[in-house]
Amino acid sequence: MKKISLIAAGAALIALTASGAQAQQTLDAVKKRGQVICGVSQSLPGFANPDAQGNWAGFDVDMCKAVAAAIFGDVKRVKFVPTTAKERFTALQSGEVDFLARNTTWTMSRDVQLGFDFVGVNFYDGQGFMVPKKLGVKTAKELKGATVCTQTGTTTEQNLADFFRANKMEYKVVAFEKNDEVLAAYDSGRCDVFTTDRSGLAADRTKLKSPNDHLILPDVISKEPLGPLVRHGDNNWGDVIRWSFFVMVNAEELGVTSANVDQMKSSANPEIKRMLGGEGDFGKMLGLDNAWAYNIIKMVGNYAESYEKNVGPKTPLGLERGVNALWSAGGLQYAPPIR
């Protein structure tokens, strides 16, 4: 009896000390740390890719920088943690990263079951197929019996199964752990088809031996809204990320760029005034400085600038704006007003 009560006492003691620490507000923790920790892809040109000096660049990286600019007014105050597809969710759940900006598709199960909040969609994507031109395939409906290479741990594997099942076509799938392995297998002819998000296909095509021998099919077989995500439950922190993104979209809509943001400060347009801190206390509402939006635009740029610099038609990826154009230009990007 004595033994048992001793054990129980020991266990209870430890349990007590462990539960003493209360959930900490992420924003306060970030401010105290002096740095925001951002989970990004390991190596995805155009979205998140380190150069030879280890400097990160890309569309998702800009999202991280925007948050750092909003909080600290300094885009260098961000630590990039490259995560694999397998690790990314645990990294966020466990607090290893403050948020993920990592080509992650917003799905209901991830939002609800995994305990995350998606704060917005910074890139509307869809799954597509890439095939060697010499196969002579023009549309995905002709892929009956094909062998498809893909990466495990992504929604693409399931979309692929759905697509072939819906069209009553046979196929074979070879699923690799890492994107580079998928690409190498496709390049060596192990598969007829390479499938992932179309933005990824464009990025990966640049890594092939002879990119021009490969064709991205016109079919889009799924909706892949990619966006940053945070842990469920810390709504204030989610707001910081969400509005950092919305500022970039709003800035594009209002014609504010990193080049003209200083002149725009004296603009008479009340919307611009509110955004840049000339009117109201919108930064304070978030627990930030009122110059938060100014810093984002000045240091990172608006949505269009980031898009054109990293993934736009002039980059190796060569992605047209398409559905990612502003709503006013026939696209889907639409940010609620700052007021």
278-317: contacts with other proteins (CB under 8 A): none
Q: How far is the CB of 130 from other proteins (least distance, A)?
A: 15
Structure tokens at 79: 């630590």
Does residue 178 bind other proteins (CB under 8 A)? Answer: yes
The residue from 206, 235, 266, 328 that contacts other proteins (CB under 8 A) is: 206
Identify which of residues 175 and 216 has a Cβ nearer to other proteins in the complex.
175
Contact 242, 120 (CB under 8 A): yes
Does residue 141 bind other proteins (CB under 8 A)? Answer: no
The residue from 146, 229, 288, 319 that contacts other proteins (CB under 8 A) is: 146
Identify which of residues 42 and 258 has a Cβ nearer to other proteins in the complex.
42
Q: Which of residues 209-228 bind other proteins (CB under 8 A)?
A: 209-210
Residues 6+ apart with CB under 8 A from 320: 313
3-state secondary structure 118-159: ECCCCEEECEEEEEEHHHCCCCHHHCCCCEEEEECCCHHHHH
Size of the site for other proteins (CB under 8 A): 87
Identify which of residues 82 and 228 has a Cβ nearer to other proteins in the complex.
82
Identify which of residues 149 and 326 has a Cβ nearer to other proteins in the complex.
149
Identify which of residues 282 and 292 has a Cβ nearer to other proteins in the complex.
292
Residue 178: half-sphere exposure toward Cβ, Cα within 13 Å = 10
The residue from 171, 282, 294, 303 that contacts other proteins (CB under 8 A) is: 171
Token pair 């094909």: residue: 146
Q: How far is the CB of 293 from other proteins (least distance, A)?
A: 21
Q: Which of residues 3-62 bind other proteins (CB under 8 A)?
A: 3, 6-7, 10-11, 13-15, 18-19, 21, 23-24, 29, 34-35, 42-43, 50, 52-54
Does residue 336 bind other proteins (CB under 8 A)? Answer: no
In terms of DSSP H, where are the helices of the chain? 2-19, 26-33, 59-72, 88-93, 108-112, 155-166, 179-187, 198-205, 235-253, 261-264, 270-275, 282-286, 292-299, 303-310
Q: How far is the CB of 247 from other proteins (least distance, A)?
A: 22
C-alpha angle with apex 208: 204 to 212, nearest 5 degrees?
A: 100
The residue from 1, 32, 136, 188 that contacts other proteins (CB under 8 A) is: 188
Q: How far is the CB of 301 from other proteins (least distance, A)?
A: 20
The residue from 218, 233, 313, 330 that contacts other proteins (CB under 8 A) is: 233
Give the span between the Cα atoms of 233 and 117, in whole angstroms: 8
Residues 6+ apart with CB under 8 A from 162: 221, 222
Give the span between the Cα atoms of 109 and 216, in whole angstroms: 29
Provide the residue count of the chain.
339
Give the span between the Cα atoms of 105 and 111, in whole angstroms: 10
Binding region for other proteins (CB under 8 A) out of 59-67, 75-83, 288-296, 331-339 = 75-83
Give the span between the Cα atoms of 34 and 28, in whole angstroms: 10
